[in-house]
């Protein structure tokens, strides 16, 4: 079955510290992988995506993610977190079996402490 | 381009009422889908469509109907609203090269 697991429900990081959000997936073929961010009361913003090629993907706002096929992982990283990064982060894999939609993880809430 | 437009942005319904959440896209995407977002649950797929006249159920379809009479529009209908349908609803469309565009969401409260 296709699924996405984000093991950490909530993470707190000090401002200026590095960040890694974990994402593991179960998928029968080569997946397309995505990270979205959602600020409170807002919609989804695409941070980055991986389709093929270089397994280290650069995104917006200084984020990057690394695809590791052997570990079925697509972890999101940022070297120095800013207070404005506090939000909820969703990892997603696609497409679903019908080829139409994304399968989302349950999300990780990031808090940033000063 | 407007992308994916959802209306209304906010709605309060009484239990048993019906309503339609509107979703329109102007990118000529064939694939469209509806998700609901609940705290701690991520986004779950309700219904999807692979083109005009073709729809199918996703993970959580109960209580919702959809239709796709045109490529542009994909409305989601609640026939008899229940408090369990209180959620944030997102519509999305998918391009041929796997670019997913999401609407800004509809926040629905059923009392």
The per-residue pLDDT for range A77-92, each reduced to its tens digit, is 999 999 999 999 999 9
Q: Which residues does chain B have within 8 Å of residue A50's beta carbon, measured at their own beta carbons? A: none
As given in the structure block, the two tokens for residue B3 are: 């992308």
Shortest Cα distance, chain A CAs vs residue B58, angstroms: 9
Q: Which residues does chain B have within 8 Å of residue A49's beta carbon, measured at their own beta carbons? A: 98
B41, B94, B102: residue with CB nearest A100: B94
Q: With beta carbons less than 8 A apart as the criterion, state whether B21 and B36 touch.
A: no
Mean pLDDT of the B77-102 span? 92
Mean pLDDT estimate for chain A: 93
Q: Phi and psi at residue A59, in whole multiples of 5°? A: -125, -165
- Distance (Å, whole) CA B57 – CA B47: 5
- Distance (Å, whole) CA B42 – CA A83: 23
Q: With beta carbons less than 8 A apart as the criterion, state whether A79 and A86 touch.
A: no
Q: So what's the pLDDT on residue A34? A: 95
Q: With beta carbons less than 8 A apart as the criterion, state whether B16 and B84 touch.
A: no
**b (16+ CB within 10 A) / e for B29-42:** bbbbbbbbbeeeeb
Determine, for residues B98 and A101 on separate chains, whether the beta-carbon distance falls below 8 Å.
no
Query: Which chain B residue has its CA at the smallest distance from A108's CA?
Result: B40
Q: Which residues does chain B have within 8 Å of residue A92's beta carbon, measured at their own beta carbons? A: 43
Determine, for residues A98 and B56 on separate chains, whether the beta-carbon distance falls below 8 Å.
yes
The per-residue pLDDT for range B30-47, each reduced to its tens digit, is 999 999 999 989 999 999
């Amino acid at each position: 079955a296709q699924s996405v697991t984000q093991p950490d429900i909530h993470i707190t990081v000090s401002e200026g510290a590095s960040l890694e959000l974990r994402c593991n997936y179960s998928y029968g073929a080569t997946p397309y992988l995505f990270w979205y961010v959602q600020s409170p009361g807002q919609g989804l913003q695409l941070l980055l995506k991986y389709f093929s090629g270089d397994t280290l993907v650069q995104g917006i706002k200084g984020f990057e993610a690394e695809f590791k096929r052997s570990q079925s992982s697509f972890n999101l990283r940022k070297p120095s977190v800013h207070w404005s990064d506090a939000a909820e982060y969703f990892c997603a894999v696609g497409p679903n079996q019908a080829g139409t939609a994304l399968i989302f993880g349950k999300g990780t809430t990031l808090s940033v402490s000063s | 381009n407007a992308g994916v437009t959802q209306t209304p942005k906010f709605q309060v319904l009484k239990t048993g009422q019906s309503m339609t959440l509107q979703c329109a896209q102007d990118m000529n995407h064939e694939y469209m889908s509806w998700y609901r977002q609940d705290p701690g649950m991520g986004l779950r797929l309700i219904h999807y469509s692979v083109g005009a006249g073709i729809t199918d159920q996703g993970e959580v379809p109960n209580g919702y109907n959809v239709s796709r009479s045109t490529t542009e529009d994909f409305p989601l209908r609640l026939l008899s609203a229940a408090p369990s349908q209180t959620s944030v609803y997102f519509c999305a469309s998918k391009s041929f090269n796997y670019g997913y565009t999401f609407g800004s969401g509809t926040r629905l409260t059923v009392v």
